[in-house]
A and B are shown apart, each in its own frame.
Chain A
Amino acid sequence: LAKTTQPISMDSYEGQEVNITCSHNNIATNDYITWYQQFPSQGPRFIIQGYKTKVTNEVASLFIPADRKSSTLSLPRVSLSDTAVYYCLVGGGTNAGKSTFGDGTTLTVKP
């Protein structure tokens, strides 16, 4: 199973773009990359998912290079409410249920 590595914490200011990178060197061919957001004492919330290249939705973009050994979650113009823990999750396919949550990145957005 692919192990993920993310920065433990990041600080940003309101209105800035934030990029969080996740390393997953052992990603398997049928693995997807999914990012979740979690606020204290709440369940994780899906942000975005991708397999390769770039995916964009209304809240974030996900950049995946050709070798898929890393991925970058991009949050445009963050606000104070984006302060949370962000998890990169690699898995899916036949190993779906065993997808591993890493330690997550605690993002703190300052005014």
Chain B
Amino acid sequence: DSGVTQTPKHLITATGQRVTLRCSPRSGDLSVYWYQQSLDQGLQFLIQYYNGEERAKGNILERFSAQQFPDLHSELNLSSLELGDSALYFCASSTHPDGNTEAFFGQGTRLTVV
């Protein structure tokens, strides 16, 4: 158990819909990362937050957005969903904002868009 909790574990929704994925980082971790893993593209970095502020942005679509709340949990919002958005979405957390510390990954949310 990494200490990072993601909910829900599975999500099935229709094209055009909007969903919210939730991540609770390890206790004490201020940095949260979101990744997308699909069969044909591997692990893609989406976005990072540190202590409530956006820290780095990767290949995140404009239809996607995220935020980190004062209690440090984070949510990833995916809207106008397309079939190609079907993937595993991972959240990771770490103590520091840079990559020089170990990141702990959650078990992921499997999103299926039908």
Contacts and interface: CB of A to CB of B under 8 A. Distances in A.
B109 to A, nearest CB: 11
Contacts of B90: 43-44
Contacts of A96: 48, 55-56, 97-100
Contacts of B98: 92-94, 96
Of the four ranges (under 10, 10 to 19, 20 to 34, 35 or more), the interface on chain B belongs to: 20 to 34
Interface string B94-114: 000111101111111010000
Nearest to A87: B43
Chain B contact surface mostly? strand
Contacts of B88: 41
Given A41-B108, A43-B90, A43-B105, A95 B56 contact: yes
A93 B105 contact: no
B42 A99 contact: no
A42 B48 CA distance: 20
Given A34-B99, A91-B99, A96-B97, A101 B55 contact: no
Interface of B: 2, 4, 33, 35, 42-45, 47-48, 55-58, 88, 90, 92, 97-100, 102-108, 110
Interface of A: 32, 34, 41-46, 49, 87, 89, 91-104
What are the 9 tightest A-B residue pairs by CB atom distance, in nearest-first order?
Answer: A97-B56, A43-B105, A92-B99, A97-B48, A96-B99, A101-B43, A96-B98, A46-B102, A92-B100
